[in-house]
């Protein structure tokens, strides 16, 4: 994927979902490759087009029909030495309606638009909750200067969830933050009122995230669940906002890192899928909230085996879903980052600018 304006043939992956033995697959789709525009990667205006946006030399996002399950925002980090179509993580939308305690699951719910598993996502240049658009006719996003910094902004919309939620997020990239994206949460006017709109990073097992860094120490997955060896998720571990690392402006960081010095050279169990074999540079992943609600908590659960398989994860249980749960507010900002630094190096940078 190195030439601009070429036709990319994507063989969309066959994805096995839990809770049964059903397979969901899509046919091959011919999509026009993304283009470079200054500092940015944008979808082509020749449709059908690959829905990918972000930094030319930094973090990027995509939505289906790029490879992977529907109902997820893909996170690409080619600066780590990954292929341009390789996800280091996904971000799901998981709304909880007012008065309820069960989440909606953007990845797992069946679409009411076409009967396919996974909510349909599409893009827009403005926050207009119109009828669903084709994801292969993506908006290119808006490039503008905000407070002296060039930015790229777009919106990712979802169809309505079974619980009546109709959420969307504004995605904004900043030219001076190549390893971060800002996600601002909203609901459309017709949405049911929400208690929470959880944005969860759902694939920590690929990087084998095992250490959470807090203001007074660390939590390690292999110590939280030392004897767990099942094939499902563990229970969530909870971190209160007061225990998170703070910056000098009142914001908080929820930071996760692999515990291996060299995550590339490990031994995998026989039969482990090639999609789980880690390659490239080691990186630290984090959530940042500039104005955290005092009731916000960090949640992380773990897995002993890779998703939808019986293959044990090298080194034992690692964090899978890694998220912040905050009472819903229209227009609340969250930042997700994947930085090619150790967690200690990142924390030193945070402390430097306090």
Give yes or no for residue 6 having a pLDDT over 80: no
pLDDT the model gives residue 212: 98
Compute the average pLDDT of residues 321-329.
Answer: 98
Q: Each residue of 146-194: pLDDT tens digit? A: 999 999 999 999 999 999 999 999 999 999 999 999 999 999 999 999 9
Annotate 24-60 with DSSP letters as a single string: E----EEEEPPEEETTEEE--SSSSB--EEEETTS-E
* Rama region for 195: left / alpha / beta (φ>0; ψ in -120 to 50; rest): alpha
User: For residue 288, what pLDDT band results from cuts at 50, 70 and 90?
Assistant: very high
> What confidence score (pLDDT) does residue 18 get?
30
Confidence band for 25, pLDDT divided at 50, 70 and 90: very low
What pLDDT does 44 receive?
97
Per-residue pLDDT of 27-80, as tens digits, reads: 466 899 999 999 999 999 999 999 999 999 999 999 999 999 999 999 999 999
Q: How far apart are CA 351 and CA 336, in angstroms?
A: 19
DSSP state of 274: G
Examine the pLDDT at 269 and tell me if it is beyond 90: yes
Q: What's the pLDDT score for residue 131?
A: 87
- For 231-263, the pLDDT digits (tens) are 999 999 999 999 999 999 999 999 999 999 999
Of 298, 151, 140, which Cα lies nearest the Cα of 213? 298
> What number is the average pLDDT over the span 322-338?
98
């Amino acid at each position: 994927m190195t030439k601009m304006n070429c036709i990319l043939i994507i063989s969309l992956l066959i994805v096995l979902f839990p809770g049964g033995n059903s397979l969901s697959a899509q046919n091959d789709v011919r999509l026009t490759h993304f283009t470079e525009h200054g500092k940015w990667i944008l979808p082509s205006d020749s449709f059908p087009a690959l829905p990918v946006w972000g930094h030319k030399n930094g973090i990027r996002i995509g939505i289906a029909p790029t490879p992977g399950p529907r109902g997820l925002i893909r996170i690409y980090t080619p600066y780590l030495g990954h292929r341009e179509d390789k996800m280091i993580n996904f971000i799901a939308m998981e709304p909880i309606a007012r008065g309820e305690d069960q989440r909606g699951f953007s990845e797992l719910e069946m679409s009411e638009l076409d009967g396919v598993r996974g909510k349909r996502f599409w893009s827009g240049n403005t926050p207009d909750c119109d009828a669903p658009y084709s994801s292969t006719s993506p908006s290119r996003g808006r490039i503008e200067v905000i407070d002296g910094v060039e930015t790229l902004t777009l919106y990712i919309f979802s169809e309505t969830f079974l619980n009546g939620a109709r959420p969307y997020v504004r995605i904004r990239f900043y030219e001076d933050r190549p390893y971060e994206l800002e996600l601002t949460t909203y609901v459309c006017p017709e949405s049911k009122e929400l208690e929470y709109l959880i944005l969860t990073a759902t694939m920590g097992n690929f990087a084998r995230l095992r250490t959470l860094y807090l203001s007074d120490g660390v939590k390690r997955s292999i110590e939280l669940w030392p004897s767990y060896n099942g094939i499902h998720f563990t229970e969530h571990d909870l971190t209160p906002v007061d225990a998170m690392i703070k910056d000098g402006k009142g914001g908080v960081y929820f930071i996760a890192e692999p515990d291996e010095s060299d995550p590339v050279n490990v031994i995998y169990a026989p039969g482990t899928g090639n999609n789980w074999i880690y390659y490239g540079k080691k990186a630290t992943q984090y959530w940042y909230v500039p104005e955290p609600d005092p009731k916000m908590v960090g949640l992380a659960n773990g897995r002993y085996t890779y998703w939808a398989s019986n293959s044990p994860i090298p080194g034992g249980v690692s964090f899978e879903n890694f998220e912040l749960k905050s009472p819903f507010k229209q227009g609340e900002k969250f930042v997700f980052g994947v930085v090619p630094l150790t967690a200690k190096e990142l924390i030193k940078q945070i402390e430097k600018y306090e």
